[in-house]
Structure 1
Amino acid sequence: MAITFGTIGTGWITDSWIDAAHKSSKWQLCAIYSRQQEQAAQFGAKHQCSNLYTSLAEFLADAAMQAVYVASPNNLHFEQAKLVLRAKKHCLLEKPATSTTEEWGELVAVAKEEGVFLIEAYRHIQEANYKLLQKLLHHDQKLGEIYGASFTYASYSSRYNNVLAGETPNIFSLAMSGGSLVDIGVYPVTFAIALFGEPKSQTYAPFICRTGVDGGGVIILQYDHFGVQINHAKAYTSTAPCEVYGEKGTLTINATTDIESIRHWDPRTKETQELAGPCVRVVKPNVNMLEEAVEFARIITEKDRVAADALAEISRIVVKVTSDLRRQNNILYPADTKA
C-alpha cells in the first residue's frame, strides 16, 4: 500500500518529488500546505490534489497523512521538521536539513522519541550508478589504495543576476541560511562523505558575494592518507568532471548527480573502460528523484532503522563539516548564535 504524504513548499523541487513519488507507485500525495491560498490552489490543481491547507497546525492534524516532504526555505527546515515529527509523521527533509549540528541532533532525537523516520532527501547518493561507484571502490577495490579525488558541481544560478542587481534572493541571504555551500556544495561534500566517511579536517577558500554568503569556492577535505578537492559554485559554472585517483588507475565520473558515465583508466594497459549502468532520465526542469523515492519508501515500510541511521550519520557529518567551513569564513546564520 502506498504511503500517503503531504508537502510543505511549492517550488520546482517539490514538483520533482511528487512526480517521482507517484512514478515509484510507493507514495500517494494527499495534502498540500502553503501559507497562501492562491499558491496552494495553483499547486494543488497542477497535481490533482484538492486537500489544501494554509494552517500548518491543521495540515499536520490530517490523520490520513503518514509522511511530509519538507522543501521550504532553508531557515524554516528545523522548526517545521520538528513540528512534523511531533505530529508523528515521517519527515523527508530537503537538503540542507538544518543550519547547525545542534539542530540536526535535536531532530534525530525527536524522531526516535516519536517513533517515526527522519530522512534527509539527498537524491544523488541513492542513484544506481553512485552505489556502483561505492562498490567499485570498496568492494571490488578497482583502484586499490586511494590517492585522492576531485569533485565538481558549479552551475551559474539565474538568481545570481538578482544579487548583481542589488537584490537579496533567499538562497543568497544569510538570514535565510543561504549560500552556495549549503545549496549546491552539499552535493559534492555528501558525495565525498558517503564514499570516504568523515574527514579529519576541512578548509574552505570561498568567494564571498555582496550579500555576505559564499557564491562558490574550493574545499579541501583531509583524510588519513589522501585529500579530496571540491569546487562548487552558484556564481560561476564549471564543466570539469569528477575523478578518483588510485594505485590502479583513475575513475572519471561525469558529474556528482545524474551519473551517466564511470570510466576507468588503467595505467598498465593505457585503456579506458566504461563501467556505468543505465541512468534514470526525466523531463526537465524536473530532476531524478525516483531512486530515493523507492529507497525511502522501503526504509519506512520495512522499518529499516539500520539504513535510516546510516543516512542520518551521513547527514550529521555533512552539517558538521559545512557548519565548520562556514564559520571558518565568518558566514554566520541566525541559528549559529543559538548553537
Structure 2
Amino acid sequence: MIRLAIIGTNWITDQFVEAALKTGEYQLAAVYSRSLESAGQFAEKYDAPALFDDIDALAASPLFDVVYIASPNVLHGPQALQMMKAGKHVIVEKPMASNYALAQEMFDVAQQNNVLLFEAFMSAHIPNFKRLKESLSSIGKIRKGLITYCQYSSRYPKYLAGENPNTFNPDFANGSIMDIGFYCLSSAIELFGEPLSVVAQAQLLDSGVDGSGSVILKYEGFEVVLQHSKTSDSYLPSEIQGEEGALLMDMISTAKKLTKFTRGSDLGIDLSVKQESNPMYYEALEFANQFKQQSMNPSCTQRSLIVAKLLEEIRRQTGVVFPTDKKHFAKKTK
C-alpha cells in the first residue's frame, strides 16, 4: 500500500485523493496546508491522516512514501525539490515547473536521490486518449491537427473587477498556456512527439499573463494548431485529420468521446470505450505501477521535459515573463 501525503487542499487535490483511493493502491497518510484548520477540514472525510502546517516537518516525516503536490504553479518546483531531497517520491501537478531549467533540475534531483518524479498530466493515461493514439494509423498519413481547450475561467470576473486572482497573476507562474493550454500542448507531444518548430501568439492581459492564444506546431508533412483560452468558451472538439479520415475527441483533457470519420462518409463511428468517471484514476494507477517497479517511465519523463521546454519558448514568443524566470536565470549565470 502506498502511503500518500498531499500538499494543497483544493478541489483538484480532493479529486486526486478520491481517484487514488479508488485504485486500492493508496492510503492517505498526511495532509499539509498552510493552516492546521484547513488541513483538518480537508481530512475530515478520510481515515485520520496526520496533519501538518510546517513544510519542513512534512518533509522530515516518516509517515508517508509519496507526496502529491497541488499548490500554486510557482511552488511546484521548489516543493518537489525539497521533498525529493528528503527522500520522498513526488507526484506534482501540471505544469511541473515554471521554466525548463527548473524542470531539468527536478529530474536531476530525482535521479540523485533515487526517487520517482511524476507529472500529473492525466490525459495521456485515459483509455479514450490511448485509443486515439492507437487509431492514428487508421486514418492514413496525418495532414493536420486541431487541439482545442477554451473555457471561460470562473476567476475571470474577479480579474475584471480589479482583483488579482492567482489564475491571472504572473507571480504564481500562471496564465492560459500554463493552465488549460498545457493540456493542448502536452496532448500534442504525447501523440506526435517533439515538433520541428513552434510559432505562438497570445492576447496578454494587463497583469502580464496570457488570457488566450494559439500555437502552431510544425511536424514533417503536417502541422498541429493549438487553441487555448481562459477568457472565452469553445464547443468544438479536437480533430486529427488524415488522408483517409479524421478522428474527433470531445474534451481533450478528459477524453470523453472519440469518433472516427472515414473519407467519403458522413457517418461517424464511435470508438469510445467505457472509463472511470474520475479521469485522475488512470494517472494514479500509472504512478502506482511505477512505484511498484521503482522506475520512472522514460516516455513520461521525456514528454514532461519537452513540454517544459516548449512552454518556455511559447512564453518567450508571446512576451509572458514570470518573476521566477529572472531569479532562476540570474542564479544560473553566476
Normalising by structure 1, we get a TM-score of 0.94
CA distance in 2, matches of 1:102, 1:83: 16
Q: Letter of the 1:100 partner, please give it.
A: N
In structure 1, the residue matched to 2:249 is 253
SS state at 2:56 partner: helix
Which one of 295, 300, 309 corresponds to residue 304 of structure 1? 295
Once the two structures are superposed, what CA deviation does each residue of 1:263-299 show, in whole Å capped at 9, x if it has no partner?
Answer: 11111444321111113214xxxxx210111111001
Q: What is the distance in 2 between the residues matched to 1:270 and 1:235?
A: 33
Does the 8 Å CA contact 2:28/2:47 hold for their aligned counterparts? no
2:179 aligned residue (176, 180, 183) = 183
Structure 2 SS opposite 1:313 = helix
After TM superposition, give the deviation of residue 50 of structure 1 in Å.
4.1
1:303 deviates by 2.2
Report the 3-state secondary structure (helix = DSSP H, G, I; strand = E; otherwise coil) of the residue aligned with 2:171. coil
| 8 Å Cα contact 1:111-1:118 kept in structure 2 | yes
| Contact 1:258–1:280 (8 Å) recurs in 2 | no
Task: Tell me the CA shift for residue 301 of structure 1.
Answer: 0.7
Percent identical among aligned pairs is: 36
Q: Is the 1:193–1:314 Cα contact (8 Å) retained in structure 2?
A: yes
- Structure 1 residue matching 2:139: 3-state secondary structure: coil
Count of residue pairs the alignment pairs up: 328
Please name the residue that 1:285 is paired with: none
Contact 1:258 1:279 in 2 (8 A): no
Measure, in 1, the Cα distance between the counterparts of 2:277 and 2:40: 29
Contact 1:85 1:91 in 2 (8 A): yes
Tell me which residue corresponds to 1:43: 42
Q: Aligned with 1:180: secondary structure?
A: coil
C-alpha displacement of 1:122: 0.5
1:39 positional shift: 1.0
Q: How many Å separate the matches in 1 of 2:259 and 2:86?
A: 46
The answer for the alignment partner of 2:283 in structure 1 is 292
Partner of 2:139: 143
CA distance in 2, matches of 1:262, 1:289: 18
Is the 1:163–1:210 Cα contact (8 Å) retained in structure 2? no
Amino acid at match of 1:303: Q
Structure 2 equivalent of residue 225 of structure 1 = 221
2:28/2:49 contact within 8 Å kept: no
Runs of 4+ in 1 over 3 A off after TM superposition: 268-271
Contact 1:75 1:176 (8 Å CA) reproduced: yes
With normalisation by structure 2, the TM-score equals: 0.95
Assess if the C-alpha contact under 8 Å between 1:32 and 1:49 holds in 2: no
